[in-house]
Amino acid sequence: MEGTKIAAGNFLLSFATLVAGASISKVQRVLRHMGVACISLSTFFRHQKRNEAGSSQAMEYMAFQHCMEYINNCGITYDTLVTDRHTSIAKHIRENLKEVKHYFDLWHLRKKIRKVLSKIGKENDCEEVQPWIRPCENHLSWSATSFGDGRVILAKFVSFLGHIVDKHKNLDDPIFDSCAHGDIEHREWLNDKCVVYEKVCKALGNKRLKKGIQKASPLSQTSCVEGFHSVLNQFAPKMIAYSYPGMYIRHIIAAVHFNHNLNRKVVTNSDDSEQLVVVYPKFKNGEATIRDVKVAANFCYVEEMYQTFLDAQRKGDLEEEKDKLKKMTPEPINTMLTKQPRDEAIKKRKEKKG
Ligand SMILES: [Zn+2]
């Protein structure tokens, strides 16, 4: 590469891997299987400047503080915040932003419900709960977005526990004591005496979850934000722990990719009708989902990023940027722990093995 001792091909491979949100170890394996020589992992990380920090609750809270500072500095005013159920963030808003309305993102609450019910569904003789998972999530969305404050949202949500055992009237909570639906056909109702129902009641009756549901966001949820979660997951898969700069950079690339591909047009047929695709998601048990076919994603920003990088390198701005990134990087999380000495750990293992 011009003005450096870095081989252009090597750098391009690192760059392309990063902007594609790919994992270098997989790319390396693919090339090796093909018998193609490839840069080492350490070269890639030198290019990406990685260190071991991992991710944690603390980092999420710090990111939140950075965001708020940024928003405040931009002079953006707001009266409502929608976040996930992160404890420190909720506390921060409660204590420092008293005038702000705070809601929990429905997507996160739905995910939590899906998680706890799916767990029950996997236990012995509890598979009956499976077909109720999706309806429960949908019921939460309806409870939150149909009119009512936190207390009403919760009462509506809890009515689900009556509904699934075929009890739709004279429910326990006077705030919402009967289902809102009219006549419905027979479902595979649960038996209110069986263990699975007891488990569902216990899981959905969890104190922290109930508190969360009371704060469920009644604002219309943009599927746009949900879309961003899945884009982000492609650029920074959750199963991999990235360093702070690695995570930061991958978030930026994901955001750029997302913004470049917002509101993608729907592909039309020759008669101008919209092209559709029918899919059968596993969780819907054979029921179909219809989706629009969108035009292919646009990656033109990659060239712009590359040119920006080359420009910065020519101007000698990279060092300064590197310093800035270094300054905002927190200490690796493992330095915050009291570590067991290495010798002691090895000695213990030897003793165990006898
Ligand atoms: Zn009902």
What mean pLDDT comes out for the span 279-308? 84
- What whole-number distance in Å separates Cα of residue 139 and Cα of residue 235? 32
Distance 180 CA to ligand 1 centre (A): 7
Distance 192 CA to ligand 1 centre (A): 14
Residues with Cβ within 8 Å of 301's Cβ and at least 6 positions away in sequence, in order, are 256, 257, 260
What mean pLDDT comes out for the span 291-305? 88
pLDDT at 102: 93
What mean pLDDT comes out for the span 117-140? 94
What mean pLDDT comes out for the span 305-312? 91
Distance 122 CA to ligand 1 centre (A): 25
pLDDT bin (cut points 50, 70, 90) of residue 130 is very high
Higher pLDDT, 49 or 243: 243
Q: What is the mean pLDDT of the chain?
A: 86
Please check the confidence at residue 24 and state whether its pLDDT lies above 70.
yes
| Ranges 127-131, 217-221, 251-255: which has the least confidence | 217-221
Distance 208 CA to ligand 1 centre (A): 25
Element (H, E) at 152: helix 150-163
pLDDT digits (tens, 9 = 90+) for 337-349: 667 788 888 988 8
Higher pLDDT, 248 or 120: 120
pLDDT at 352: 86
pLDDT at 50: 47
Distance 177 CA to ligand 1 centre (A): 10
| Ranges 41-55, 155-169, 236-250: which has the least confidence | 41-55
pLDDT digits (tens, 9 = 90+) for 101-111: 999 988 889 99
Please check the confidence at residue 225 and state whether its pLDDT lies above 50.
yes
- What whole-number distance in Å separates Cα of residue 32 and Cα of residue 38? 7
Distance 221 CA to ligand 1 centre (A): 24
- What whole-number distance in Å separates Cα of residue 217 and Cα of residue 150? 9
Distance 187 CA to ligand 1 centre (A): 10
Distance 249 CA to ligand 1 centre (A): 48
pLDDT digits (tens, 9 = 90+) for 74-88: 999 999 998 888 888
- Could you write out the three-class secondary structure of 244-303? HHHHHHHHHHHHHHHHHCCCCCECECCCCCECEEEECCHHHCCCCEEEECECCCCCCHHH
pLDDT at 219: 78
CA 250 to chain CA mean position, Å? 14
pLDDT bin (cut points 50, 70, 90) of residue 52 is very low
- Tracing tokens 């905002």 back to the chain, one arrives at 328
pLDDT at 51: 41
pLDDT at 45: 74
Structure tokens at 286: 């054979």
Q: 274 pairs with which residues across the strands? A: 268
Distance 165 CA to ligand 1 centre (A): 9
Element (H, E) at 8: helix 8-19
pLDDT digits (tens, 9 = 90+) for 315-330: 888 888 888 888 888 7
Distance 166 CA to ligand 1 centre (A): 7
Q: Which of 54-58, 126-130, 272-276, 327-331 has the highest mean pLDDT?
A: 126-130
